[in-house]
Amino acid sequence: MVRRPLTPEQIEAGRRLGVALRSARGDRGLFDVALAAGISPETLRKIETGRLPAPSFGIVVALSEVLGVPLVDLAAAWRSTATVRRAS
């Protein structure tokens, strides 16, 4: 099966997700966070820099748990906060 190329919008969404994850990591080491999430440090580096703009859902969940960031917040970063509607 051939995978369709990502759209510019999807690539930009991945960049926003990467920025949010890098911000959430703060002073924690990339190596330590990656290993705690069960991914390689290079994979985390690629996500944070936008070179892997569409990480799997499992990776996003693992990073959410390790970093203590609610998935809804990561979804908001991916979508852009202007388009997120939260339930009250």
Domain 8-79: CATH superfamily, name plus number = lambda repressor-like DNA-binding domains (1.10.260.40)
Query: Tens digits of per-residue pLDDT, 2-52?
Result: 878 889 998 999 999 999 999 999 999 999 999 999 999 999 999 999 999
Query: Tens digits of per-residue pLDDT, 66-84?
Result: 999 999 999 999 988 544 3
pTM: 0.84
Q: What is the pLDDT of residue 87?
A: 38
Q: What is the pLDDT of residue 81?
A: 54
**Biggest alpha carbon distance in the chain?**
41
